[in-house]
Structure 1
């Protein structure tokens, strides 16, 4: 049957009948309704849990009125003004507010690791080993200027891993070390200022501007160590938080000001929010208005579990989840991306080996749908019974959950690599590049956004898994944070599962809800970091 398109009516027609568009429109409407229904249900569930965790109705009505007048109303009005300017000021304002908030969360996580996991001796030994390894790598580049990237990576990794135990034994013989804040200042503070100077020098293509930026950042972080400790900001806390929150914020502000296109006014939005928050806090204290009696407070985040709900906290489980996710990322992401690169770029597609490769790909797809409890049994058999690791330690839990998300990372990475146009590969080969050079400089940069998208979903699933942790013997509750990767731990989902089983309603609704909100916040922070990295590579490509 011959068909055509009517330019006046915009409809398709045939010889005997007109094509019906109604099924397509109904299908699109059903999909949209299902999506909106899912979003509304999840948002409602999170709002219900957040209500139980924060308990907003326990606050004095005057508390809400004060913060509405000092924070909500001015911030909303200023953000509306920025949106009316149509020069991107609203985007600049929200980004300028989000970067320091995310930096504070990341810096707080680093602080937690240094408080309970890494001692100052271990950190100092690692820094010495890293400096020596960098010198060895620089010398290797000088004598072998045509060395491949893989060769340089192996030289640096072997040198660092070989020197780390030796430097730790050497540093442990020292009777004492400088104060912790001095070492943090010379590592985090100096390193962050150096990175900031390099970024500014590259942006402005002026080494003098980079040196000035480096000096300004280092002077600022050094001056901050003299803040009165009674404020709660000790020198180590200031150095680390400024490195992870202050330096990125300053670099973003410098980039906005440098463009000079009218958008710097958006940088005032964080100041409006901070000023409104401080003013509101001062007024409620002056007027005596009580805030909400929330379960999710600073004490909950810093306390260990307790049999009394008012004293229960999630701190040991929070540290356990952070350490577990470090193991998950190290054990699954490089292996998954490497396997995807081999299957897409190197594995043969014809002959007997091609059949084997196809069989492997089918099994990887099947493994992505295996229930998580099966991976828990696999981790118990592989890491505990065969490799003789102790049950319930951080590294066993991390590697078990890493096995769970490994097929997801492989499949998503394969799809991203497969989506790279073949013409880019052919152009690279036509310029005389080898296969590895093509993969490294053409395929991977183009595929990184897609790879990170799949990895974001995989890591979000990993941090919320409970069944594999039950199988490998993760503790239901621990009363101190793990000291390292070979220590007994409890993760946040495992701790929340324990609170749900408590007979007290305060545990089942209040403490459990606070744990869920904390878990969701950590998961969203991880996803935000991955999304920022993905967006950066998308803009670059």
Structure 2
């Protein structure tokens, strides 16, 4: 008999069984919405890619050569992995994507060493940071100070070693830069950038293989390969800076991953996919050059990435805006990450939970959550009033743009960091207290290491939003076009979204379809790489749990 209960009758059929119709309809609706969203995103990416590459301008024979030498072998090998060796497929796709991601990161590091900090400035900064860390460690070991004293000592030490007192006391960094004799630029970068990376690589191999000799060989090989570039790089037509960065930022991650695959012994055949694709590209280039097949009329090429804006579409590039975006993101990260994480730590670990102060803290948390949804143009007005009007800073400089966008993502960083800290089991805190640890020791050694993957995931996603914002930059006077890349954080700059907005206003079809599409594709690649990094951190954190 069918049920007679009016409140539950709609959920039961005539035979008394629970009806699954609504659940199936809800599942189908969610699936349809997901498929529709992915389809629309895919169509948008295809539309932008077609405008940026213009595949219809290539000879059919060129496409046939590409398919026969590159696409077909890759597809056949991928199908083999899918049907016969799924583990090798995972290795193949990782081995194919890792060099691409590392190359993009190497480009960002190259921009930093070219426009943000010179090798000598990096040398002085690293030495000052080491001295500051040593002083803080000595203070930690010699005095049982409270959290407030530690914070005050940290501010003083960092100020004296890195910043100094303007007009009164020079910093240790400034004193190092004022020395009459400094190591040559290649040696400075080799000692303060390559050597730490080599030590880290050696430590990783030693720990993974439990072999001191293997770690020493890995670290020594990294340093030797980079040092070889100081001499051999210019002979091969590659600058020594490029060689050092490629060796450390691209060669080390790829080498460590290959070593890990061989050590594990599973999916080793997956390493063949990037080799097959690379060999196919070489064969394709030789055949196309010998036969004289015309390729597509590509807008997104090396010249576009390294040139400045021009009134001629074919000569226009995005490099100054790319440099400006990188410098702006550095300011955003430096301003938003410590403040956001510090606020989250206080709200979750130190803030009172009852009484009048507890009500004030609850009100603050509600307002922080609400600020995460405020339109970005409002933050542009806030940055204009706070940094340009009240702070008397020049509009359109990197610091103003970075601090304004930092205000935009600060609530997002705080909320995501709170969720990550809240996710740490309370039993781990109680265990630390039971061992005699103080509140600060528990937060530093137990809570933060456990919550850091979640904090980094939320921060990277927030930085991904920051790099694509346009409205705040318009409000603080960021230039539409800058033909010279900024050389300091107080220089005028343009960012990628601001440059794209200015290109969209031009009436020339080549700008609107070709140049603009190429710029959008560059911005999308950067965003996808940042979001992909966040996803990898999240997945690794979940597997660790």
| 2:241 is aligned with 1:240 | no
Aligned counterpart, 2:389 = 385
CA deviation profile, 1:26-61 (whole Å, cap 9, x unmatched) = 122212211211111111111101110111111122
Consecutive unaligned residues of structure 1, counting only runs of 5 or more, are 4-11
Number of residues paired by the alignment? 530
Alpha-carbon separation, structure 1, partners of 2:163 and 2:462 = 32
| 2:327 is aligned with 1:328 | no
CA deviation profile, 1:409-431 (whole Å, cap 9, x unmatched) = 22222223333333333333333
Alpha-carbon separation, structure 2, partners of 1:358 and 1:175 = 56
Aligned counterpart, 1:77 = 76
* Structure 1 residue 221, shift from structure 2 partner: 2.2
* Structure 1 residue 176, shift from structure 2 partner: 7.2
| TM-score between both structures, scaled by the size of structure 1 | 0.90
Alpha-carbon separation, structure 2, partners of 1:185 and 1:26 = 62
Alpha-carbon separation, structure 1, partners of 2:427 and 2:504 = 55
* Structure 1 residues 430 and 251: CA distance shift in structure 2, 3 A: same
| 2:264 is aligned with 1:259 | yes
* Structure 1 residue 442, shift from structure 2 partner: 3.2
Match of 1:361 among 321, 343, 365: 365
**Alignment partner of 2:284: what SS?**
helix
* Structure 1 residues 231 and 404: CA distance shift in structure 2, 3 A: same
Alpha-carbon separation, structure 2, partners of 1:66 and 1:145 = 71
Alpha-carbon separation, structure 2, partners of 1:394 and 1:288 = 46
| 2:166 is aligned with 1:161 | no
8 A Cα contact 1:449 1:538, kept in partner: no
1:258-297 aligned within 5 A:
258-260=263-265, 262-297=266-301
* Structure 1 residues 342 and 124: CA distance shift in structure 2, 3 A: closer
Alpha-carbon separation, structure 2, partners of 1:329 and 1:278 = 40
Alpha-carbon separation, structure 1, partners of 2:129 and 2:457 = 31
Aligned counterpart, 1:492 = 496
CA deviation profile, 1:141-193 (whole Å, cap 9, x unmatched) = 66569998966966863454257844435434537752x33332333322222
Alpha-carbon separation, structure 2, partners of 1:81 and 1:392 = 54
Match of 1:171 among 172, 177, 183: 177
* Structure 1 residues 430 and 128: CA distance shift in structure 2, 3 A: closer
Alpha-carbon separation, structure 2, partners of 1:312 and 1:209 = 49
8 A Cα contact 2:329 2:402, kept in partner: yes
* Structure 1 residues 258 and 63: CA distance shift in structure 2, 3 A: same
Consecutive unaligned residues of structure 2, counting only runs of 5 or more, are 4-10, 165-169
Aligned counterpart, 2:7 = none
Alpha-carbon separation, structure 2, partners of 1:338 and 1:140 = 21
8 A Cα contact 2:428 2:446, kept in partner: yes
Alpha-carbon separation, structure 2, partners of 1:67 and 1:383 = 53
RMSD value, Cα: 2.8
8 A Cα contact 1:137 1:155, kept in partner: no
* Structure 1 residue 138, shift from structure 2 partner: 5.9
Alpha-carbon separation, structure 1, partners of 2:344 and 2:285 = 52
8 A Cα contact 2:429 2:446, kept in partner: yes
| TM-score between both structures, scaled by the size of structure 2 | 0.89
Please identify, of 441-450 and 356-365, the stretch whose mean Cα deviation from structure 2 is larger: 441-450
Please identify, of 351-360 and 18-27, the stretch whose mean Cα deviation from structure 2 is larger: 18-27
